[in-house]
Amino acid sequence: MSSDNGIAVIDLADIDSGPGFKRICEEVAKACEEWGFFHIINHGVDMSLIRRTQKAYKDFFHLPKEEKKKYAMTKVYQGWYSPELYDDSDVKKFPLNIGNTSECLYYIVLSDNPNHETVFSLIPPDLRPTLLEFTKEVAAAQERVLAAMSVALGLDAAALQKRCESIDVGIRANYYPLQTEGKAVGEILPHSDLPAIVFLFSDTVPGLEIRKDGRWVPVKPVPDAFVVNVGDSLEMMSNGRFRSVEHRATGNETEERMSLVSFYMPAKAATIDPIQELLDESHPPQYGSAKYGDMLSALISQRLNGKAFVNSLKIKS
């Protein structure tokens, strides 16, 4: 099935049956090669949990700015971020490329990092339990999709997850307040995402656009679906077969918009490079090799700039 602009809508309802999984792998392969983006329905993440999570985030974003400032983004790049508040701070260097009227709240929710408990305790208490439950369910769905992607590449179902080693899952809520006339519309500027895969839930308010053959294509919302996209790390691991595509987003003047974005990130120590089994004489490696943590630091220091970062890791032929 595909939505009216050609971006696939993949139904995961029968992912646990042999024929269902095979069909899903074929659809995933096509979507990742052509678009780098697709929708999933019947994704297994409980809708009432999604609604509770949305509500908890909206309650936070609707607080007065003075309250939200208590959770202001720290040097570990977690917390609340609003560009207008950070003119002179080095937090401004964070590569969020977020327009002046948008806000976001970002935390790494799942991690094996021994210091993680301290970070977790920074999450607003009213959000914390729901967010933990939400992130666990989304990460499980991300692993089901990653298994389909692995098989789609001709690998073992566990291959991509294994390559990520111990993962971190970060959730970023982007908030685009209702815009009044004459005020610039909140936005996230063009970028690609560094992680392996990314799930986005933005409900039925449009605003996300992806770059396809040099043109910006709006992603038409599909009710109750997650938008899935290939990250730069997966593009590299798949040796360019799966595409990490540039995207951007805006708010609007008729409805406030909020997106919940789940970043499934390889361990900082994981080596990101083309998977050996995908290489042969006619498929030489297209990318060099780098540790995920080093890629992340480089990205933070360069700021996001379209796909410039992943392209800089390409082997010149």
**Six token digits for residue 201:** 């839930």
Q: Is 208 in the site for ligand OGA (CB under 6 A)?
A: yes
Q: Is 307 in the site for ligand OGA (CB under 6 A)?
A: no
Ranked by CB distance to Ni ion, the top (closest) residue is 193
Number of residues counted as binding Ni ion (CB under 5 A): 1
Quick one: which segment of 53-61, 91-99, 188-196, 264-272 binds Ni ion (CB under 5 A)? 188-196
φ/ψ of 152, rounded to 5, equals -60, -30
Q: Is 193 in the site for Ni ion (CB under 5 A)?
A: yes
Q: Is 261 in the site for ligand OGA (CB under 6 A)?
A: yes
Q: Is 259 in the site for ligand OGA (CB under 6 A)?
A: yes
CB 162 within 8 A of CB 140: no
Smallest distance from Ni ion to CB 247, Å: 6
> Which of 172, 241, 243, 307 lies at the binding interface for ligand OGA (CB under 6 A)?
172
CB 50 within 8 A of CB 201: yes
> Which of 138, 188, 228, 272 lies at the binding interface for ligand OGA (CB under 6 A)?
188
CB 260 within 8 A of CB 137: no
Which does residue 208 touch among Ni ion, ligand OGA, none (CB within 5 to 8 A, set by kind)? ligand OGA
> Which of 39, 163, 247, 307 lies at the binding interface for ligand OGA (CB under 6 A)?
247
Tell me whether residue 43 or residue 247 sits nearer to ligand OGA (CB atom). 247
Q: Would you put residue 239 in left (φ > 0), alpha (ψ -120 to 50) or beta?
A: left
**Six token digits for residue 145:** 């999709």
Residue with tokens 């770059």: 211
d(CA 77, CA 122): 12
> 112 burial class (0-12, 13-18, 19+ CB within 10 angstroms)?
exposed
DSSP 269: T
* Amino acid of residue 22: K
> Which of 27, 137, 168, 193 lies at the binding interface for ligand OGA (CB under 6 A)?
193
Which does residue 249 touch among ligand OGA, Ni ion, none (CB within 5 to 8 A, set by kind)? ligand OGA
Residues in touch with ligand OGA (CB under 6 A): 172, 174, 188, 193, 200, 202, 207-208, 247, 249, 259, 261
